[in-house]
């Protein structure tokens, strides 16, 4: 063997040893699942991204994998066509765009990241050995999630993301913010995520950029509380937007709950910037009328007035837009084999229905699955051929967090374990319809028994973009310790019920209700009825002689 051959063999063995020895030095270092304005790729697109950090020697990642699916760890393979793109230097960073556009280059993966949270994996060349992974939760636009320092164990949120750079926290200046409105005696105005009616304060952001309140402090007389940075989706105020923070002294309920309470007799509330400087403050001597709020006559103006109709989370100069007679008619939160979208994917969906006599354009309407973010997704404007619902018509909106797939793809996914959903008019405040979605099995929807009417029941055969109709009701009573008995029952007879509930006729019209466990006298008219108990149990009941 000559010297050149020996050198070549040694170099080859050295490269193998280098790759094997440094593979374990790769870590997922930072990610951004909701990138609106932070950094763009070579095609000037603001896409999701994952940053890989190399704590070892030089390494070409060709043949390694990235995935967001434990059942498919080899989901996307680093190409071997351009080592200049896939090679990572010692101590270096490599940015991979998660944009479903692999044709745009070797650093573009064929999947996107969910802003609702998921797990991502960095996988070795065998396609099965996980080198690193991170399970992340809800994300906020333009705020990244990464290790507190390169390769560190702790993960934190970065108001100033650091793609392809050293992970470090940047101290931001005090931004102009206003205490815009507050309500001390909140009895029926607004409830929090736990369903409690507590005192609240609204902050207005007059800037043309988002401001995260993490690091800002509120002072109630002598007591103070610093907003934490562990749930930025609850503390970030969008550009020219508003946010509600709860004055309930229950910070364990979320980052938007302050460790402060206020007295109806009066006091002082101050907002302090990260530097400790007072940015805004209000004083009051007497409480407002119950269910009224106290706020600036215009957002940020010096004049304060009492609002008989409070305007939390929206402008104080709100112009109410009543909207059309649109209702949420049916939802599916776990789609395995149900209807596919235009991308041939099985996604969650929500069906809207127009029971009125005239067409309604839903452009500008809002749909959200979060009580704290009522304007989470807006129906796009400018596609009237799609957003107009004719009389008696339906439209399907996909909850798949894939807005790039079309106008009817929303920026969130549903949780099949149950959650809230609401439809609001273009004022972002007026609620047209809302519901609490229960735990549902796969491919079973939750819908109105009859279009635009109650009660709500399970559909084991769903009816997307179609009438729910009497013949489509496949739901059967849940296995329970109670079933209607006797069934059939004679009209005007008595029947015991184990809890509060309601009785509806075959047309979906409310016939009677009861508020606790009791014996009720049945209607005098024969026919088919539906019993809806407070626990969610539905059952058919036949009245006949």
Strands in 76-77's sheet, in edge-to-edge order, are: 76-77, 65-67, 118-123, 130-136
The three-state secondary structure class of 28 is strand
d(CA 136, CA 305): 43
HSE (CB half, 13 Å, CA atoms) of 264? 12
**Is the separation of the CB atoms in 255 and 234 below 8 Å?**
yes
d(CA 453, CA 355): 10
Cross-strand partners of 360: 389
Residue 432 sits at the vertex; the CA angle it makes with 426 and 469, to the nearest 5 degrees, is: 125
User: Could you tell me the two tokens for 448?
Assistant: 């109105």
HSE (CB half, 13 Å, CA atoms) of 278? 10
User: Could you tell me the two tokens for 354?
Assistant: 């127009």
Tens of pLDDT, residues 80-114: 999 999 999 999 999 999 999 999 999 999 999 99
User: Could you tell me the two tokens for 321?
Assistant: 């837009």
d(CA 198, CA 190): 8
**Is the separation of the CB atoms in 534 and 500 below 8 Å?**
yes
Tens of pLDDT, residues 187-233: 888 889 888 999 999 999 999 999 999 999 999 988 999 999 999 99
Write the CB contacts of 106 (distance below 8 Å, at least 6 apart in sequence).
78, 79, 81, 82, 85, 86
**Is the separation of the CB atoms in 29 and 151 below 8 Å?**
yes
Predicted local confidence at residue 3, as pLDDT: 43
d(CA 350, CA 413): 10
Alpha-carbon Rg of the chain, whole angstroms? 28
Predicted local confidence at residue 285, as pLDDT: 65
Q: Which of 382, 398, 319, 393 is nearest to 360 (CA)?
A: 393
Q: Are strands 304-307 and 327-332 parallel, antiparallel or unpaired?
A: unpaired
User: Could you tell me the two tokens for 462?
Assistant: 């769903």
**Is the separation of the CB atoms in 152 and 139 below 8 Å?**
no
The three-state secondary structure class of 62 is coil
Tens of pLDDT, residues 127-147: 999 999 999 999 999 999 999
Write the CB contacts of 295 (distance below 8 Å, at least 6 apart in sequence).
180, 181, 182, 202, 304, 305, 307, 310, 311, 316
Helix (H) or strand (E) holding 84: helix 83-86
User: Could you tell me the two tokens for 109?
Assistant: 């993966």
User: Could you tell me the two tokens for 137?
Assistant: 């939760």
> Dmax of the chain from CA atoms?
106
Q: Are strands 242-247 and 257-258 parallel, antiparallel or unpaired?
A: parallel
**Is the separation of the CB atoms in 502 and 513 below 8 Å?**
yes
Q: Which of 295, 314, 315, 444 is nearest to 373 (CA)?
A: 314
d(CA 352, CA 269): 42
Structural domains of the chain, with CATH: 3-158 (no CATH), 178-307 (2.60.40), 327-472 (2.60.40.1260), 494-543 (no CATH)
Predicted local confidence at residue 247, as pLDDT: 95
The three-state secondary structure class of 473 is coil
User: Could you tell me the two tokens for 533?
Assistant: 């108990």
Going residue by residue through the chain (545 aa), what tens digit of pLDDT does each one get?
Answer: 444 443 343 433 334 333 433 456 999 999 999 999 999 999 999 999 999 999 999 999 999 999 999 999 999 999 999 999 999 999 999 999 999 999 999 999 999 999 989 999 999 999 999 999 999 999 999 999 999 999 999 999 999 999 999 999 998 999 999 999 999 888 888 889 888 999 999 999 999 999 999 999 999 988 999 999 999 999 999 999 999 999 999 999 999 999 998 877 778 899 999 999 999 998 876 656 778 899 999 999 999 999 988 999 999 998 888 889 999 999 999 999 999 999 999 999 999 999 999 999 999 999 999 888 999 999 999 898 899 999 999 999 999 988 989 999 999 999 888 888 999 999 998 899 999 899 999 999 999 999 998 889 999 999 999 999 743 333 333 334 467 878 788 899 888 888 888 887 655 667 888 888 888 999 988 877 778 777 766 677 788 87
Q: Are strands 87-88 and 155-158 parallel, antiparallel or unpaired?
A: unpaired
- For 443-456, b where at least 16 C-beta lie within 10 A, e where not — what string? bbbbbbbbbbbebb
Phi, psi of 23 (to 5 degrees): -55, -40
Tokens 């996988």 belong to residue: 123
Predicted local confidence at residue 21, as pLDDT: 38
Helix (H) or strand (E) holding 17: helix 3-22
User: How deeply is 222 buried, as exposed, middle or buried, from its count of CB atoms within 10 A (0-12, 13-18, 19+)?
Assistant: exposed
User: How deeply is 149 buried, as exposed, middle or buried, from its count of CB atoms within 10 A (0-12, 13-18, 19+)?
Assistant: middle
Peptide bond into 486 cis (omega under 30): yes
Q: Which of 118, 82, 114 is nearest to 98 (CA)?
A: 114
């Amino acid at each position: 063997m000559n010297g050149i051959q020996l050198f070549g063999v040694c170099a080859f063995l050295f490269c193998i040893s280098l790759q094997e020895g440094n593979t374990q030095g790769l870590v997922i270092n930072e990610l951004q699942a909701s990138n609106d304005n932070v950094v763009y790729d070579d095609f000037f697109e603001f896409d999701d991204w994952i940053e890989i950090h190399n704590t070892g020697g030089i390494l070409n990642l060709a043949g390694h994998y990235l995935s967001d699916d434990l059942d498919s760890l080899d989901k996307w393979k680093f190409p071997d066509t351009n080592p200049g793109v896939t090679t990572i230097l010692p101590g270096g960073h490599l940015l991979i765009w998660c944009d479903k556009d692999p044709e745009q280059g070797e650093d573009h993966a064929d999947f996107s990241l969910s802003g609702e949270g998921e797990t991502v994996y960095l996988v070795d060349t065998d396609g099965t050995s996980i080198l690193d992974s991170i399970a992340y939760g809800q994300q906020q636009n333009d705020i990244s999630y990464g290790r507190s320092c390169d390769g560190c164990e702790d993960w934190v949120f970065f108001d100033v993301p650091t793609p392809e750079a050293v992970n470090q926290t940047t101290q931001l200046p005090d931004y102009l913010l206003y205490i815009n409105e507050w309500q001390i005696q909140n009895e029926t105005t607004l409830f929090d995520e736990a369903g409690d009616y507590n005192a609240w304060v609204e902050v207005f952001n007059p800037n043309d950029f988002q401001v995260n309140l993490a690091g800002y402090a509120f002072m109630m007389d002598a007591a103070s509380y610093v907003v934490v940075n562990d749930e930025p989706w609850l503390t970030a105020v969008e550009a020219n937007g508003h946010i509600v923070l709860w004055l309930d002294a229950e910070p364990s309920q979320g980052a938007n709950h302050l460790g402060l309470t206020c007295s109806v007799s009066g006091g002082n509330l101050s907002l302090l910037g990260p530097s400790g400087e007072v940015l805004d403050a209000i004083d009051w001597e007497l409480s407002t009328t119950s269910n009224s709020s106290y706020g600036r006559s215009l957002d940020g103006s010096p004049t304060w007035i009492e609002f008989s109709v409070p305007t939390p989370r929206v402008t104080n100069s709100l112009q109410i837009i009543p909207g059309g007679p649109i209702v949420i008619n049916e939802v599916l939160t776990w789609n395995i084999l149900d209807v596919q979208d235009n991308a041939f994917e099985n996604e969650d969906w929500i069906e809207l229905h127009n029971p009125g006599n005239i067409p309604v354009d839903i452009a500008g309407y809002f749909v959200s699955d979060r009580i704290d973010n009522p304007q989470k997704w807006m129906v796009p404007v400018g596609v009237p051929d799609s957003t107009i619902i004719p009389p008696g018509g339906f439209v399907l909106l996909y909850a798949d967090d894939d807005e790039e797939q079309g106008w009817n793809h929303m920026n969130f996914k549903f949780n099949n374990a149950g959650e809230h959903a609401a439809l609001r008019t273009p004022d972002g405040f007026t609620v047209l319809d809302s519901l609490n979605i229960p735990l549902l099995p796969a491919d079973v929807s939750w819908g109105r028994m009859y279009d635009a009417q109650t009660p709500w029941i399970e559909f084991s055969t769903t009816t997307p973009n179609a009438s729910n109709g009497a013949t489509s009701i496949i739901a059967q009573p849940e296995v329970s310790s109670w079933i209607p008995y006797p069934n059939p029952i004679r009209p005007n007879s008595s029947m015991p019920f184990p809890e509060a509930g309601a009785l509806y006729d075959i047309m979906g019209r409310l016939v009677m209700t009861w508020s606790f466990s009791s014996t009720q006298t049945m209607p005098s008219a024969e026919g088919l009825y539906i019993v809806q108990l407070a626990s969610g149990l539905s059952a058919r009941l036949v009245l006949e002689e």
